[in-house]
Amino acid sequence: MSDGERVVGPVPVPAGDGRTLTDPPVVEATGIVKRFGPTVALNGARITIRPGETHALVGRNGAGKSTLVSVLTGLQAPDEGTVTFAGSPAPRQADRDAWRRRVACVYQKSTIIPTLTVAENLFLNRYAPGRGRLISWGDVRRRAEELLATWSVDVDPRTPAGDLDVEQRQFVEIARALSFGARFIILDEPTAQLDGAAINRLFDRIRDLQDQGVTFLFISHHLQEVYEICDTVTVFRDARHIVTAPVTEFPRGELVAAMTGEAAATRRGERVSTADPGATAALSVCGLSGATYGGVTFRVAAGEIVGLAGAAGSGRTEVAETVVGLRAADGGELEIAGHRPRPGSVPAALAAGAGFVPQDRHHQGFVPDMSIADNATLSVPGRIGSNGFLSRARRDRLAASMIEKLAIKTPGPDLPVSALSGGNQQKVVMARALADDPRLLVLINPTAGVDVRSKEFLLGKVEETARTGTGVLVASDELDDLRMCDRVLVMFQGRVTSEIARGWHDHDLVAAMEGVDLNA
């Protein structure tokens, strides 16, 4: 056990089907090490899940939760350590049927095939042949009806899966998992796309299935849900197991502290605010509403850095994407530097004065086979040519200045972006965002997947940009991205729920992001 680790126990969880804690764990992972190149994703991690319980696994991004799920479901073999199910060793990696009989995962992103019916999805690759080895679809539908009825899933098996809502798809996936014989289900962010009523129905189904002997591992960014539905909670941090405890004996403040590593943390560094309230606001948002958020109102002053924080499914990313035109709002108004861009238009947002670093640089941030120079100047054709003709010399001069300004390590501007490291690729994306001297800079998870040195450089460049009078909106759940902000707006379930001034401690911000009331 490493320094700072502890286990609170024993964990007194009654099994819903009458089993006791003398039964072996449904699953036990010990000493799990998993490396991906130089990255250690799990470092001696462990978890023990008892029969009939709902066991929460929580931790900040990068804590190792997803990697543990891949190990527990047999998708990844650990480099070190062991996994047992009911006291017996895990199946061979290639024996997928044996894994399905022991464990199933219902992911946030559905694995249901929308063009097939519910019945076809339930028994995909398991259709029993009828006469002449032809599939009897009537038999398939009857088997589906029996399966859905057994587990109280109120869905017509003839319905195309694409017509199901998120809640129905989850119940169908749970029923499919149970049909293989698995009685251990991993729920990965199951409430991220559900409204309050659907969440309550999901929790009722979990309790019903618990009573029938089904065990759950519940992974969620919403800690309040842990206290509503879970018996036991395990915290991972920095790829390691930190603590396991009964939920009823683990105060909210202690849980957040276990996730962050300390009850109070200092900020990245002192920063004197450069906000200019007297100048035209860089961004004004009033009553903005969309599919995943509603009633969002805030302002970013010229020279101000504002954070937009929240866990997965909070709406923070969607709001930021609406500001830059990747999405069109259903209602409300927004202005960029005094201009109202056409909703849902990226060119209009850029013309109004926005610069943008998207969430996924690989799919949204650059064209990998194009040169650094072309990528850095994609959004400013007017600065490198006229009348539809581009000047290579002007392009290269602008690119050279951006390469120097962003300290991009390259032998020249013609190198394809795909040949750069992750940190330098992100610098190219930042270069394009800054190429037209924006009045508003919008950043979504700006330091994701970059090394520590590149992260510090990029954040420093953001602060430098704000000093020139540019307003900055940073949408992220990474604390390091938010420490430089003058203030942080916290979103939870599509609403701005709090505003936290500069000088916050980690546990306060994380608690707000997770919807936890530390005074409860």
Q: What is the pLDDT of residues 78-92, one digit of tens each?
A: 999 999 999 999 999
Q: What angle do CA 28, 244, 498 make, to 5 degrees?
A: 130
| Domains in the chain: boundaries | 6-112+183-250, 114-163, 266-353+438-445+473-504
Quick check: 5 pLDDT over 50?
no
Residue-averaged pLDDT of the chain: 85
Identical fold for domains 6-112+183-250 and 266-353+438-445+473-504, yes or no, is: yes
The fold of 266-353+438-445+473-504 is: Rossmann fold (3.40.50)
pLDDT band at 199 (very low <50, low <70, confident <90, very high): confident
Give the residue-averaged pLDDT of 354-363. 84
What whole-number distance in Å separates Cα of residue 94 and Cα of residue 237?
Answer: 30
**Position 364 pLDDT exceeds 80:** no
Residues 59/61/63/64 CA torsion (nearest 10 deg): 110
pLDDT value of residue 337: 95
CATH superfamily entry for domain 6-112+183-250: P-loop containing nucleotide triphosphate hydrolases (3.40.50.300)
Tokens 């007017």 label which residue? 382
User: CA 181 from chain center: how many Å?
Assistant: 30
Q: How much of the chain, in percent, has pLDDT values that exceed 90?
A: 39
**pTM for the predicted model, two decimal places:** 0.59
Residue 410 confidence (pLDDT) above 90: no
Q: What is the pLDDT of residue 451?
A: 65
pLDDT at 70: 93
Distances (CA, A) of 418 to 146, 273, 366, 425, 426: 52, 37, 9, 8, 11
pLDDT score recorded for residue 47: 97
Q: What is the pLDDT of residue 369?
A: 81
Confidence of residue 111 (pLDDT cuts 50, 70, 90): confident
Q: How confident is the model at residue 295 (pLDDT cuts 50, 70, 90)?
A: very high
Mean pLDDT of 179-198: 81
pLDDT band at 308 (very low <50, low <70, confident <90, very high): very high
CB neighbour list of residue 64: distance below 8 Å, 6 or more residues apart: 41, 42, 43, 45, 236, 238, 239, 240
Distance CA 337, CA 377 (A): 22
Q: What is the pLDDT of residue 402?
A: 85
271 or 319, higher pLDDT? 319
In percent, the amount of the chain with pLDDT more than 70 equals 90
pLDDT value for 266? 39
Position 16 pLDDT exceeds 50: no
- C-alpha distances in Å from residue 409, one per residue of 305, 402, 428: 27, 12, 10
Nearest to 106 by CA among 193, 169, 58: 169
Mean pLDDT, residues 386-403 = 80
